[in-house]
Chains A and B, each alone.
Chain A
Amino acid sequence: MSNTATENEHDPLIPHGHQQTGRVGDRIFRGFASGAGIFVLVIMGAIGAFLIWKSIPSLQADSTNFFTTTEWFPDDNPAVFGIAALLFGTVISATIAMVLAVPVGIGIALFIAFYAPRPVASTLAFITDLLAAVPSIIFGLWGLAVLMPNMQGTAQWLNDYLGWIPIFDNTLGIYSKSLFIAGVVLAIMVLPTVSAVTREVFIQVPSEHVEGALALGATRWEMVRMAVFPFSLPGMISAAMLGLGRALGETIAVALILSAAFTINWHITEPGGNSFAANIALKWNEAGPIGLSALIASGLVLFLITLVVNMLARWIVSRRKDFSGAN
């Protein structure tokens, strides 16, 4: 680890008599602390670097376009594989999750911050946060065994009554293992992220603005629109993007629910679809050397996408205030 304790100015808070013993200890301790801080940067850099390094063999071996191919035969000779289908499935399932989770998450946050009876509000917040503690493997199992049979009717209804919208049209008559169901499970999984971060932002709305709106004769909803939403907009966008980052990178639940297929199928209620993360988990143990490298390459793309999404989210909100979302 590199040592950054070089810019060690005199600390005016340390009295002179103790400089002898204090200085050395301080320098060492400070070195450890900075080292730990820099370790975070090093890790983030190393993730990128090692993934790039180890994806090179497969990218060189690929006989087709890595970005537009919808097949995955990296261990064939010549190797044929690309991420188009993965990108499609990842983006579509995450989009479905966002469409469902963002409004509901904002609703929950509003409920807890402004609507719920005060004595129980923090308990209700705790209960909704419990969703965040449920491991994704359990969401996957539940989605597969409990939710999927119950979503059949909804998917069929979408086909029967909204089938004229191409994405809801189901040409197979089979409604299970679809991107739609994966999206619904993802929505439930990112809901606590979206609602917890949004709630933090709502709580920061100064009560002067809330009272200012009410004193003008606004109803509660008008107060929300007048004082809460404009003030919280960056935070809400950021919450949605943090949720999006989660949804894009979720592996196990998606891997369990989708019947992995390397196609781009806009009929989202039909079986099929795939995602970066699910594909890595599913293909990992049957992959040869180039296969592993190809999976690493797809993981690199996923890493970069989530990196951009998360950096944007953090950047938007850091211009206003510190929201961590780490818990």
Chain B
Amino acid sequence: MTVISPEPTRSPESRSISESLAGKKLPRWAPLATAVAAVVIGYGIGAAGSIFGLAWFVVAALLFLIGQTAWSFAVEGRRHAIDRLATTLIYTCFIVALAPLLSVLLSVITKGAGVVFTDFPSFFTETMRNVSPRKPGGGVAHAIVGTIEEVAISAVIAVPIGIMAAVYLVEYGRGRMAKWVSFFVDVMTGVPSIVAGLFIYTFWILVLGFDRSGFAAALSLVILMIPVIVRTTEEMLKIVPNDLREASYALGIPKWKTIVRIVLPTALSGIITGVMLAVARVAGETAPLLLTTFLSQSMNWNPFSGPQAALPTFVWDQISNGTDASVARAWGGAFVLILFVMIFYIGARLLARVFAPKAR
């Protein structure tokens, strides 16, 4: 280590930097100007036959990145050039994420709405029984019934289990066991849906000997629902203030009544949000249904016996038919499905926002 004098010695270079506050800056219109120039040049190159076979807007985007970075480097210096480059890339990421979302929603609406609303409401009231894959017509009535029944049954089973597991984790769970439960709830979120279907198939159909049915499908959805409900309920229970519990204990109310009468109701809106998110998640599941209830072209009101249609498997079936009429129906089914899911999803998020705890 070099011996240094206590008096600070400053190099002339560092003085010149820190003693001028004004950094040279690109003018405000610089990004816009660069963008316009990049688009014009990019379009020109595209018209003239392109370079490296890139589409004109890709050329334009690259020109913008390079142009702005180079200009900034020349005027503002390395650090600001990198900062601008990073900012541009980060904005780009966001736009890149919006593109598929918009495209998916637009395609489903443009290709699906037509099918759904011609001869309204027949698409909602008819089934696929005796409808030729080649001909238009038919509807999703049987699939809607299947989806609603299966999702409802799975919710009836999964919601109490999920809530009680969350109660265990928040109110009772101590020590090793609670840690394991908490850990495996998280891991369970990652169980692929097809594995849930495989498990119910082996357990319910192969081992216990039941038939394929809507109920079997619902059981596989239970596995996918539980972790979502546990997690959201747990978060909600955690933010119920402890004072509330203690006030109740002080009145001599036993712990379980405190939980049932005070803690759970306080967290109710959050719990409902979680249930709705879970419903939105499982309503769109296809894979487990294919294994456990398969397809059906006609109405089956009874979830406990025989194959049942559902919206996702309806879409799958129509795609597999491959004819123009069927693919159009697939888009129609997709439209109904996304509507169903979005109502629950957006409803859940709005509810969460309205009742959000202010402490954050």
A and B directly contacting (CB within 8 A): yes
Given A39-B161, A135-B285, A220-B83, residue A314 in contact with residue B186 (CB < 8 A): yes
Residue of A nearest to B238 (CB): A322
Chain A window 17-29, contacts with chain B (Cβ cutoff 8 Å), 1 for yes, 0 for no: 1100111011011
Alpha-carbon gap, A252 to B203, bound state (A): 22
Return chain A residues, CB-CB under 8 Å to B55. 153
Cβ of B256 < 8 Å from any Cβ of A? yes
The interface size of chain A toward B, counting residues with CB under 8 Å, comes to 109
Our pick among A105, A142, A248, A251 for the contact of B107 (Cβ within 8 Å) is A142
Question: Is the Cβ of A219 less than 8 Å from the Cβ of B164?
Answer: no
Instruction: Verify if A34 is at the interface (C-beta below 8 Å from B).
Output: yes
**Whole-angstrom CA separation of A108 from B94 in the bound complex:** 5
Query: Which residues 27-56 of B sit at the A interface, judged by CB distance below 8 A?
Result: 52-55
* In the assembled complex, B240 has its CB within 8 A of some CB on chain A: no
A186 CA to B341 CA, complexed, in Å: 20
Find chain A residues with CB under 8 A from B180 CB.
41
Q: Which residues of A contact B153 (CB under 8 A)?
A: none
Closest chain B residue, CB of each to CB of A11: B255
Task: Please tell me if the beta carbons of B98 and A51 are within 8 angstroms of each other in the complex.
Answer: no
B96 contacts A by Cβ under 8 Å: yes
The distance in angstroms between the C-alpha atoms of A145 and B107, with both chains bound, is: 9
CB distance from A232 to the nearest CB of B (A): 15
Are B94 and A124 within 8 A (Cβ)? yes
**Contact A296 B202, CB 8 Å, known A141-B330, A277-B287, A324-B235:** yes
State A147–B162 Cα separation when bound (angstroms): 38
Interface centre among A36, A221, A326 (most CB of B within 10 A): A326
Contacting B at CB under 8 A, from A236-281, are: 242, 245-246, 248-252, 256, 277, 280-281
Q: How many A-B residue pairs have CB under 8 A?
A: 315
Note all chain A residues with C-beta closer than 8 A to B285.
135-136
B contact residues around A29 at 8 Å (CB): 255-256, 259-260
CB contact under 8 A between A256 and B312, given known A43-B188, A250-B192: no
Does B280 touch A at the CB level, under 8 Å? yes
Q: Is B165 a contact partner of A33 (Cβ separation < 8 A)?
A: yes
A251 touches B192 (CB 8 A): yes
Contact between B231 and A326, CB atoms less than 8 A apart:
yes
Give a binary string over B87-108; 1 marks a CB under 8 Å from any A CB, 0 the rest: 1011111101110110110011
CA distance A277 to B252 in the complex (A): 54
Asked if residues B286 and A251 are in contact (CB atoms below 8 Å), the reply is yes
Closest to A317 in B: B186
Query: Are A36's CB and B193's CB within 8 A?
Result: no
Enumerate chain B residues within 8 angstroms of A160, measured Cβ to Cβ: 53
A139 to B190, Cβ gap below 8 A?
no
Using Cβ atoms and an 8 Å threshold, which residues of chain A touch B226? 40, 43
Task: Check if B249 sits within 8 Å of A131, measured CB to CB.
Answer: no
Interface residues of B in 165-187 (CB under 8 A from A): 165, 167-169, 171-173, 177-178, 180-181, 183-187
Task: Flag whether B3 is at the interface (Cβ < 8 A).
Answer: no
Query: In the complex, A129→B185 CA distance in Å?
Result: 22
Pick the contact of B168 from A36, A54, A116, A131 — CB < 8 Å?
Answer: A36
Q: Are B254 and A43 in contact (CB under 8 A)?
A: no
Interface residues of B in 108-166 (CB under 8 A from A): 108, 111, 160-165
Among B54, B83, B188, B345, the residue within 8 A (CB) of A222 is B83
Taking a contact as CB atoms under 8 Å apart, the answer to whether B199 and A47 are in contact is yes
Q: Known contacts being A107-B89, A137-B316, is A326 close to B199, with CB within 8 Å?
A: no
A99: CB under 8 A from chain B? no
B277 within 8 A of partner (CB) = yes
**Is A111 an interface residue when CB atoms closer than 8 A count as contact?**
yes
Which residues from chain A contact B52 at a C-beta distance below 8 Å?
A: 161
- Choose the segment among A80-88, A169-177, A302-310 that binds chain B (4+ C-beta atoms closer than 8 Å): A302-310
Residues of B within 8 A of A35 (CB): 164
Which residues of chain B are within 8 angstroms of A327 by Cβ–Cβ distance? 228, 231-232, 274, 277
Q: Which residue on chain B has the smallest CB distance to residue A44?
A: B184
Interfacial chain B residues near A126, Cβ < 8 Å: 349
Cβ contact within 8 Å between B94 and A302:
no
Partner of A104, one of B93, B203, B228, B331: B93
A128 touches B94 (CB 8 A): yes
Collect the chain A residues with CB atoms within 8 Å of residue B223's CB: 43, 47
- Report if A103 contacts B (CB, 8 A): yes
Residues of B within 8 A of A303 (CB): 191-192, 195, 198
**Which A residues touch B283, using CB under 8 A?**
135
A277-B192 contact, Cβ under 8 Å, with A40-B165, A50-B199, A133-B280: yes
Q: Does B86 contact A (CB under 8 A)?
A: yes
Contact B94 A256 (CB under 8 A): no
- Tell which of A25, A128, A129, A281 touches B98, judged by Cβ atoms closer than 8 Å: A128
CA distance A130 to B344 in the complex (A): 12
B189 at the interface (CB under 8 A from A): yes
Contact with B203, one of A40, A50, A141 (Cβ below 8 angstroms): A50
Give 1 or 0 for each of A275-300: 1 = CB within 8 Å of chain B CB: 00100110011000000100110010
Which A residues are CB-close (under 8 A) to B65? none
Pick the contact of A108 from B93, B315, B345 — CB < 8 Å?
A: B93
The answer to whether B252 touches A18 (Cβ under 8 A) is: yes
A17-B252, A51-B198, A219-B83 given; A30·B172 CB < 8 A: yes
Q: Are B286 and A135 in contact (CB under 8 A)?
A: yes
Flag if B91 contacts A309 (CB, 8 Å). Answer: no
Candidate in B198, B230, B290 with the most chain A CB atoms within 10 angstroms: B198
> Which of A54, A141, A313 makes the CB contact (< 8 A) with B202?
A54
Closest to B280 in A: A133
When the two chains form the complex, which single residue of A13, A131, A324, A326 contacts B97, counting CB atoms closer than 8 Å?
A131
Q: List 27 A-B contacts (CB under 8 A).
A: A4-B177, A26-B254, A36-B164, A43-B226, A44-B187, A50-B203, A106-B93, A108-B97, A111-B90, A111-B93, A130-B101, A135-B283, A136-B284, A141-B330, A145-B111, A157-B54, A219-B80, A219-B82, A220-B86, A277-B192, A277-B194, A280-B194, A306-B191, A307-B191, A324-B189, A327-B232, A327-B274
| A-B residue pairs, 5 tightest by C-beta | A135-B284, A249-B192, A107-B93, A22-B254, A29-B256
Known contacts A28-B256, A136-B287, A326-B189, then 4 further A-B pairs from the complex at CB < 8 Å, ordered by chain A residue: A11-B255, A36-B163, A39-B165, A136-B285
